[in-house]
Amino acid sequence: MTGGCAQMGYYLQAAQGQYALLAQARPIDDWLADPATGDTLKTKLSQVRAIRRFAAEELGLPNNGSYKNYADLQRPYVVWNVVAAPRLSLEPTQWCFPIAGCVNYRGYYHKEDAQAFARQLRNEGLDVQVAGVPAYSTLGWFDDPVLSTFIKYPEGELARLVFHELAHQVAYAKGDSQFNESFAVAVEEVGVERWMAKFGDDKMRRAYTEYEGRKQDFLDLLLKHREELKANYASDASDEEKLRRKAEIFQALQDDYQILKRKWGGYAGYDRWFAEPLSNAHLAAVATYHDFVPGFRALLQQEGSLPAFYAAVKRMAREDKSERDQQLALLGEPAHLAQDGMTRRNP
C-alpha cells in the first residue's frame, strides 16, 4: 500500500469512527427519562449534568452541545493511541493532520488497527506503545458526548475529565501538544479545586486526594526514570552499552512500581500502563501534560480571573512556539536569586 493510500485509509477509519460515536449518542435528559436506564447510570449522568453546568457558569468554559449527550460504546476505550520513539531517544515520532496539526500519536477506533500499525512501526525499528484512551476532544468541531468509557469514574475524576476536555475548546495551539495539554491540566486542577470547595464532602475530597496522591507518585516515578534514560542516551557510551543500560532502567522502573503499589495498599489502577513491554514510547510524552502547568497556574494568578487568563492563553497560542515556551518556563520558575544578584520572582 502506498503512503498516500495508507493515509487515506487512516482518515477513513477516523471519520467512520467519529460518525459512529455521534450516531450512538442520545441526550442525557432522554437517558434520565428512560425507565430502562439503571439507577447507577442515572446518578452518574445527573452528576455530569451538574458538572457541565458548573463548567459553563463557574469556569467560563464553552456552553455548547459537548457533554450533554451520552453514548454507551460497549468497549473499554473510545480509541487506542499509538505512540512511537527511536530506540535510543525519548523524542516522540510526530504525525501531522489538517485540523490538529502535528501530534505525538495516531488514534484508532479499533484496537486491532492500532496493533497492526504498531507492528509496522516496530518492524521499522521504533519503540512503540499502544494505549487505550477513555476520552478525547474534537476541539469544538463536534458535540463531544459523555462516554461509557469514563462515566463510572468517581465524581472528582469525572469533573476533572470534563473540565480538561472542554479546556481544549478554549485555546489550542496547532501542533503544540505540550502547550495544549499543560493548559488543559491547569484548567482541570483549578476546576476541581472550585468544584470540591462548592460541592465536595469529606468522602469525595478524601477519594480525590488519594487519587491525586497516587497520580503524583506515579508521575514522579516516571520522570525519575525518564531522566535516567535521557542521561543514558546523551552519554558517550556505545549503542550496545546504552541498550544494556536502557534495559536495566526499565527493569528498575517495574521494580519501583511494585514498591509503589504496596504503599498504595495494592491499588492496581496503573497496571494497564505495563500491559506491553516497556519502551521509550511509554515515557516519550510524559512531560507533555505537566511541564508547563506551573507556568499556566502562575499566569492565572497574574491575570486574576479565568476570563482574563483564557484571553492571555489565546494570545499566547497565536505566538511563535519558542516565544511562548520561554514565557511559560519563566512564569513557572520558583522565585530565586539570579546569578547577577537580582531577585527574579514569578510575575
H helix intervals, 81-174: 111-123, 155-167
Domain residue extents for the chain: 3-78+134-153, 293-344
Cell numbers 460497549 correspond to: 74
pLDDT tens per residue across span 301-313? 999 999 999 999 9
126/106 Cα distance (integer angstroms):
15
pLDDT for position 155? 95
pLDDT score, position 338: 32
| Closest by CA position to 155, among listed 117, 211, 111 | 211
- Position 6 scores a pLDDT of 66
pLDDT at 215: 93
| Residues near 8 by beta carbon (within 8 Å), at least 6 away in sequence | none
C-alpha–C-alpha distance, residues 178 and 286, integer Å: 10
| pLDDT (0 to 100) of residue 199 | 95
Q: Are 13 and 113 in contact (CB under 8 A)?
A: yes
> pTM (2 decimals)?
0.88
Enumerate residue ranges in the chain where pLDDT < 50: 1-2, 335-347
The pLDDT of residue 62: 97
Q: Which three cell numbers stand for residue 279?
A: 519502551
Per-residue model confidence (pLDDT) at position 93: 93
Distance CA 192, CA 155 (A): 10
